[in-house]
Amino acid sequence: MSNAAVTELVPKGFRVAAAFSWRFLVVAAAVAVLGWLVAELSIVVITLSIALLLAALMNPAVDALERARMPRELAGSIVLVGGLGLLGGVIAFVVTQFTRNLPEMQDHINESLDQFRQWMTTGPLGLDTADIQGFVDQAVSFVQENQASLTNQALSTAGVVGQIVTGILLVLVILLFFLLHGERIWAFLTRGAPSYARARVHLAGRRGFETLGKFMRATVIVAVVDALGIGVGLAIVGVPLVIPLATLVFLGAFVPIVGAVVTGAVAVLVALVTVGWIGALVVLGVVIAVQQLESNILQPLLLGRAVRLHPLAVVLAITAGVFIAGIIGALLAVPLLAVITAAVKSLTQETPEEPRQPHLPKFARKLAPNLVRKQHGSEHPEPEQAADRPEEPPDPEPRQ
């Protein structure tokens, strides 16, 4: 009996399931190999990702300086040095404020600990002072018994600090090249695509990078609003360490949903320790109000439909990022998801999107019926915009 005859004896459902199964196994094996490579080259992947995020944020400033007839090399260098100077100034200011307010914070913490100890002895628990001292002695003995392991962890932490410094330097170098030669680098990479799909791949990459830029700029604006709102609330209540806490809120805004909840909880706990439960309730109200402003007004207004992601997709992406790469994974998960969504949407479009015409009010529809028919595409559609057509990628090097 021939192979064709044997194949005909197999039900069609089994044949389709077998075809799907071996293709699924091949894709799963490819994903596993890719994940192994990413894990082995994690430092390179993380530095490339952070440099790409910063390039998407700084590239509009470089383009603006280049349009002002400044050489791109000089424009990129100015933007990079200016960004480093601004970051260094903010870090120095935050450290200064934290050092200045640290003694007051320690006094508040000691006072709160005394109140907590008194509550444990006079409250419903009814613990004796000897019991509390026994807990303290056990903690001290634990530290003494595990001193060697703690020392080893400190040494490993020093090694991690060295890796972080190396990664920061690598990020700066990659960022400079992205700002100066990003177009040529992407054009070189698209040459690996088939010739018939090269233009569409190039356009998908550009749209993904534009989406990443919109996401980063909107996130920065949202983070600034969150930090200012919660910082002003903390200052009004009288909580110490306002500047460090506001900076923590600013950094937490780069992890959507989760970062705002964690940093808001930290601000409420600090208020509870320093100014009491009434001040903590006021700070909690301020945090909730700022987060509602962010989620219901700022994000829909700034991000728009181009970068809009479902909250469930955001939470799942952050969870997967934390599971795979920790804090760095949480920071990179949502931007990566936004870029992939925009690129896939661009690749799967049958025709490039045309810009939407504005909705006309009733009086305008009565006065301009021809414009209404033109808006709905029933009469003489406008020629396709050049910006919406897939364009050929530029050459990576100027032709001689």
**Burial group, residue 71, by CB count within 10 angstroms (0-12, 13-18, 19+):** exposed
Give the pLDDT score at 141: 67
Distance between alpha carbon 244 and the CA centroid of its chain, in Å?
21
Domain ranges across the chain: 41-130+166-350
Give the pLDDT score at 379: 43
Cα 320 from Cα 337, distance rounded (Å): 11
Long-range contacts of the stretch 97-106 (C-beta < 8 A, 24+): 97/241, 97/242, 97/243, 97/244, 98/241, 98/243, 98/244, 101/240, 101/241, 101/244, 102/241, 104/240, 105/240, 105/241, 105/274
pLDDT tens by residue, the chain, 400 residues: 566 666 677 777 777 888 889 899 999 999 889 888 887 887 888 888 888 888 888 888 888 998 898 898 898 889 999 988 888 887 787 777 777 776 766 676 677 667 666 766 776 666 666 666 666 666 666 655 665 554 555 445 556 667 778 888 888 899 989 888 888 888 888 888 888 888 888 888 888 888 888 888 888 888 888 889 988 998 898 887 788 888 888 888 877 777 778 888 888 888 887 787 888 899 899 988 988 887 777 766 776 555 667 777 777 887 887 787 777 777 788 888 888 888 888 777 755 444 444 444 444 444 444 444 444 444 444 444 444 445 555 555 544 4
Cα 49 from Cα 131, distance rounded (Å): 52
Length of the chain: 400
